Structure 1
Amino acid sequence: MAIRYSVIIPTYNRAHQLLLTLAALETQTYPKHLFEVIVADDGSTDGTKEQIQTFQTSYPLTYVSQTEQRGRSAIRNLGLQHAKGLYVIFCDADFLALPEFIRTVRQYHRKNPRAVVSGFPHSFADAYTHYYPDFSPSEKEHCCSILTPSNLWRPEFDAANEIIPLVTPEDIIHQTDALSKVTFPTKIPPAFIKQFASTDVAPWMLLVTRCVSIRRSLLNRVGGFNERFVLYGLEDWDLGYRLHRLKVPFYCMKEVVGYHQEHPTHFRGEVLNTENLKIMLETYGFNDSALNLFCVVPPSADLETYKKTLRILRRGFRSRTTRSSARLLKKTLRIAAKHFALQTDVEAYKKSLARIQRKAKGRRSRVARVLQDMAQRSEKLVE
């Protein structure tokens, strides 16, 4: 039978975590001959290739690589070029899929064959599968607090110069209790998870490449990832935005389908990369408030305010009594985004915001209050 799912795992110097991720895919309850795994290596120098070549799997495993690092978008596109499946599942090299992962994805696609199916936000939970000597002091303290109850913490960790494995591929494959001793609940607040899961506004934000499944034909239709995104951040939401413009629906799996392998924070890069945001605005223009609002209220910093603002703006346009304030709010966000991206004249920018604030003065609707708040926040872009 033909391959149904192509699991693409981009990686760069994550050999330790990657082997556990591959081992987790070995435990899948979904038939092994119906999915393939493609490891796309963005120029690793930590022996990733050699470890993959000696790793034995019962599912088809392909290794593709670039000789030098080109970035997260380019390496995912390289993996996509080798995919054969009807659907593509993007997983990060540090994502430990639970045995029912692919089977759960399949259940969602059977009901919604054209949808983007995301493991976020219900798979935020973490696991300390390795101890890293370059953990920050606070990360070391937290790691100690998780490992100590299971007697896994060792005083010599503080003096370690190399990565120390706490869970092995054999533990994952044989499903020992090793993983249960190093997992811990997500630190993400419930309110954030609730907002992330909602799809009434900006549903494309569910496309997070830690674990997300998309029909391959749709990926090819929109051209895959934008390779102008070289640095960390927004390349997945950019892809989601383009799919959203094709009216592709988005669903989040309610089940926990895997764990994130905890690592030093500096591995991640900047969550909201300003250069990448400028690329998005340059590409799509300044007519969409959902993009313009990124400049004033970054979702990574305040997702609740971000989404509530979009909802209030939408409701504002539906009522004659608040439509004028809604137009001013939309204009405010557009002016702010243009200044952010194009570095417009500061004095002219301030005067534009001042005119809007004068017009908004005395208005008492909820839309007007949000308008006044966003105008004040927009002023801070020049502080």
Structure 2
Amino acid sequence: MTARIVGNDYRSLTPPELGAWTPSLRVSVIIPAYGGQDKLDLVLAGLAAQTYPAGLTEVIVVDNGSDPPLRLPGIRPRDTRLIVCPVPGRAHARNAGLRAAGGDVIHWLDSDVVLDRRAVEAHMRWHHAAPYLAVTGYIRFTPADLPAPEAVAAADDLAELFEPAEPHAWLVDLIERTGGLTDNQARAFSLHVGGATSVNAALLAQAGPMDTDLILGQDTEMGYRLAQAGAVFVPEPLARAFHLGPTMRMRDKAPIDRVSHAFVADRIPSYRWLRSHPNRRWKVPYVEVVVEAGHDHRLGYEEVRATVDAVLAGTVPDVAVTIIGPWDEVRDEGRAPLTNPDLDLVLIRGHYAHESRVRTAGAPSGEAAPYRLRLPAGWVPGEDGLAGLLDLAADGGYGLVSVLLAEGPGREIVTARLERTAAFARAAIVRRDGEDLDDAVEETFGTLWVDGGAYGFALGARPITGRRGAHRARAEAEAEVARLTKEVERLRGQVDRWRDDAGRWRRSAVELRREVGTLRRELTAARRVLRRGLLSSMKRAITRRL
């Protein structure tokens, strides 16, 4: 039976102790590389010394157009292959390695990151506990001179070769201020960094390969899609690694953020502070509203228009609408259009043909929007109704918010459903045979029922008043709240660091006072000795004169 993790609280799992278990899963370590043969030699030497069984490990080095071409050194794992990806870019190289991989788990590894000999085992013990994890090790950055590959392969503790080294400060700060990522599941995906992260291969296949359209930020964007596929993100301090030199981000954080933010804003709706524009449409919307047939199992033009127009006029601009229907079967009637049995469908499709936020399809979109509202045609939310539901779901971490719209004479009920994409993806992974999917969502994220009237839901059209000002105000307010939330998190981390520094300073002050006290006592003793010596000398001198 698949283990069930609530939110991102992986602490419910008990992975085996290092060295005290028998693994069975195969791991594919994928190393994209461009130049840097001397560092690659050390990376492969570190992999050759791993405690995880060599028979369950394959290593794929992807030469991304190096000149001169890379080669495999003598010290390397026995199942190591070198393939070539001539298309420039780490995302292309990783995807090439991914296509060649056959492991149950994919372990991303940079070509300048040397793993401690227990690192792969520390990763893999988690993957044996649950099949939907992304595990990240703790990387330290070292300025040390490069040792010989033989020294790396023989070292029981790499710290002897690479200390002093600095921790990955941003990563450690994120982990510490979120209780190990258990307190803020919405940001847990930020842990997915490609330097030393492992992901279940089936989960990765569900999320899709690296986005090759991105210049930077591919790791974070992949982490977001993994989250929507149901992933749990685990920081593993026992999976230690040493980065040979500083990262590009450590050297050039501001220009890197400038470039990556320009692209990830379109793809990561959770980064609300990057979406301050009140009227823009983004590649991945924050919420997809799925308009479905009403109680009479048909899509009436007036009913659909009432629902769609109300959604578009609401105070959530970051929205896309999908109208579900048999669009491939719609008949066009040129001679007698008014007698066309599909006339309502023709009108719906024609009315929204040039509205970029609305699509007609047989199923919801494949884009990984964080939320999906399923709404029967004819029902319209209040201007702030959708915004209120989204706030409720986000603040409570709910996987499903069911909205009671009406109850019929036969006690049948009409509902709308706000679904969290990540919750339903997780539920599909852990669901038992015959179990209702909503029950699995209840156990992993929680569910809630609310009264539709409290959020302004009503049956029938409302006048559309043109709330452009409200759109702008809400978008700006959301962006400002997101920015301030991020700033609060940063300041909390800074305060924690200052507290740590203050603690160290207090301890240093105490030790200094103790040292000063010791020196004073030693000085007093020395003075006593000196006085005794002077007195003795004076007595001897006086005696000789007498």
- Output the TM-score relative to the length of structure 2: 0.44
Alignment correspondent of 1:293: 273
Q: Deviations over 1:275-303 (max 9, x none)?
A: 4433333345xxx3x3222578xxxxxxx
Query: Residues 86 and 195 (structure 1 numbering): CA distance in 2 closer, same or farther, change over 3 Å?
Result: same
Alignment correspondent of 1:23: 45
Kindly indicate whether residue 80 of structure 2 is the aligned counterpart of residue 61 of structure 1.
yes
SS in 2 for 1:124: strand
Distance in 1 between residues matched to 2:275 and 2:189, nearest whole Å: 17
Q: What is the correspondence of 1:258-269 to structure 2 with a 5 Å cutoff? A: 258-263=241-246, 265=248
SS in 1 for 2:45: helix
Q: What is the correspondence of 1:298-337 to structure 2 with a 5 Å cutoff? A: 331-332=475-476
Alignment correspondent of 1:253: 236
Query: Residues 368 and 253 (structure 1 numbering): CA distance in 2 closer, same or farther, change over 3 Å?
Result: closer
Distance in 2 between residues matched to 1:110 and 1:101, nearest whole Å: 15
Query: Residues 295 and 36 (structure 1 numbering): CA distance in 2 closer, same or farther, change over 3 Å?
Result: same
Shift of 1:80: 0.2
Query: Residues 225 and 111 (structure 1 numbering): CA distance in 2 closer, same or farther, change over 3 Å?
Result: same
**Contact conserved, 1:91 with 1:212, CA < 8 A, in 2?**
yes
SS in 1 for 2:271: helix
Q: Deviations over 1:48-83 (max 9, x none)?
A: 2xx32x43434200111123x521111100000000
Query: Residues 291 and 330 (structure 1 numbering): CA distance in 2 closer, same or farther, change over 3 Å?
Result: farther
Q: Which has the higher helix share?
A: 1
Kindly indicate whether residue 126 of structure 2 is the aligned counterpart of residue 127 of structure 1.
no
**Contact conserved, 1:293 with 1:333, CA < 8 A, in 2?**
no
Distance in 1 between residues matched to 2:252 and 2:265, nearest whole Å: 21
Q: Deviations over 1:214-268 (max 9, x none)?
A: 1112222222100102x3x310010110111122211111324211111585897
- Cα RMSD (Å): 3.6
Alignment correspondent of 1:168: 148
Identity of aligned residues (%): 22
**Contact conserved, 1:172 with 1:179, CA < 8 A, in 2?**
no
Distance in 1 between residues matched to 2:220 and 2:200, nearest whole Å: 16
Q: Deviations over 1:192-225 (max 9, x none)?
A: 5513742423111011011111111222222210
Letter in 2 for 1:96: V
Whose RCO is larger (CA < 8 A, sep 6+)? 1
Query: Residues 96 and 370 (structure 1 numbering): CA distance in 2 closer, same or farther, change over 3 Å?
Result: closer
Distance in 2 between residues matched to 1:237 and 1:264, nearest whole Å: 16
If you compute each CA radius of gyration, which structure gives the higher value, 1 or 2? 2
Query: Residues 268 and 87 (structure 1 numbering): CA distance in 2 closer, same or farther, change over 3 Å?
Result: farther
Distance in 1 between residues matched to 2:479 and 2:159, nearest whole Å: 50
Distance in 2 between residues matched to 1:264 and 1:212, nearest whole Å: 16
Distance in 1 between residues matched to 2:91 and 2:157, nearest whole Å: 36
**Contact conserved, 2:189 with 2:223, CA < 8 A, in 1?**
yes
- Name structure 1 gaps, 5 residues minimum: 131-165, 297-312, 337-366, 375-383
Alignment correspondent of 1:103: 121
**Contact conserved, 1:129 with 1:179, CA < 8 A, in 2?**
no
- Name structure 2 gaps, 5 residues minimum: 1-22, 277-390, 397-454, 456-470, 489-546
SS in 1 for 2:106: strand
Kindly indicate whether residue 346 of structure 2 is the aligned counterpart of residue 202 of structure 1.
no
Q: Which has the higher strand share?
A: 2
SS in 1 for 2:166: coil
Alignment correspondent of 1:379: none
Distance in 1 between residues matched to 2:34 and 2:482, nearest whole Å: 47
Aligned with residue 278 of structure 1, among 233, 245, 262: 262
Distance in 1 between residues matched to 2:115 and 2:48, nearest whole Å: 10
Letter in 2 for 1:59: R
**Contact conserved, 2:46 with 2:153, CA < 8 A, in 1?**
yes
Count of residue correspondences: 272
**Contact conserved, 1:115 with 1:214, CA < 8 A, in 2?**
yes
Alignment correspondent of 1:362: none
Letter in 2 for 1:220: A
Alignment correspondent of 1:76: 94
Query: Residues 184 and 108 (structure 1 numbering): CA distance in 2 closer, same or farther, change over 3 Å?
Result: same
Aligned with residue 221 of structure 2, among 205, 227, 238: 238
SS in 2 for 1:258: strand
Shift of 1:332: 2.0
Q: Deviations over 1:161-218 (max 9, x none)?
A: xxxxx30101111228885143224252764551374242311101101111111122
- Output the TM-score relative to the length of structure 1: 0.61
Alignment correspondent of 2:406: none
